[in-house]
Amino acid sequence: MMNYLITLKYDGSGFHGWQRQENAITVQECVEAAAEKLFGEKISVTGCSRTDTGVHANCFKCNFRTEKIFSLEKIVTGMNFYLPVSVAVTDAESVREDFNARFDCKKKEYIYKIYNGKVRDPFSINKAYFHKYPLDAELMNTEAKDFIGTYDFSAFCAAGATTKTNVRTVFDAGVERQGDFVIFRVEGDGFLYNMVRIMAGTLIYIAEGKIEKGTVPQIIASMDRLKAGKTAAPEGLYLNKVYY
């Protein structure tokens, strides 16, 4: 039995997230359909994460098992032949039979892109969150550092989550300006439902003066979702790196 790990990048604008659903088009559904056409058998794909509707990935890892042995080059070219243009396989590798893309993941990095120009950018539609009022990226960077550490992040978790614990470790976090873009980057061992988008929304609220600067530690300690900022729009979020 072969176990293949593939790396994807995708534009999530036209998908209802990664996870397969009954009445919606998802990335997992498209990847499984492409794999089944290539390998000529039923394929079940395990993803490293569950991205939501409209969320993108610069690097998404998933694995699947098959009795057939294909060259890694053929897997990349063959999968891309059958995939829609908004999804691409960038790499493939053979991994041990018990490898699981989700449970063997050690940490992930997400970025949240804000287009902070005075006028909307047509080329950033569905690819970044448009915020026309000036944002102080240096202030946001300072505030983002308070996310680093091991905490109960219940204040940054949307309702409806079913995790056993809301304790997560954030290894690094920061904000930088790249021209008209403000980029929030965060790396952790795992993330709660909408956690990164709520973090981004909280930093935006701090920059706007709607939340007092220096209060991120108190918000975390409160474990109260109402203390944190808005849930930022999905189109700005990208799964950026996955580590094993």
Cα 140-237-21 angle, rounded to 5 deg: 150
Looking only at the bridges linking them, the beta strands covering 107-115 and 129-130 are parallel
Among candidate residues 52, 104, 152, 172, the one labeled active-site is 52
DSSP 8-class letter at 180: T
- Cite the beta strand spans of the chain per DSSP E: 2-10, 46-47, 56-66, 87-94, 107-115, 129-130, 149-152, 167-178, 181-188, 237-243
Distances (CA, A) of 75 to 34, 37, 44, 97, 115: 10, 11, 15, 17, 36
Closest Cα to residue 229, out of 125, 139, 158? 158
Indicate if 136 belongs to the active site.
Answer: no
- Nearest CA among 203, 194, 201, 120 for reference residue 159: 194
HSE, CB side, 13 Å, CA atoms: give it for residue 78: 17
Catalytic residues: 52
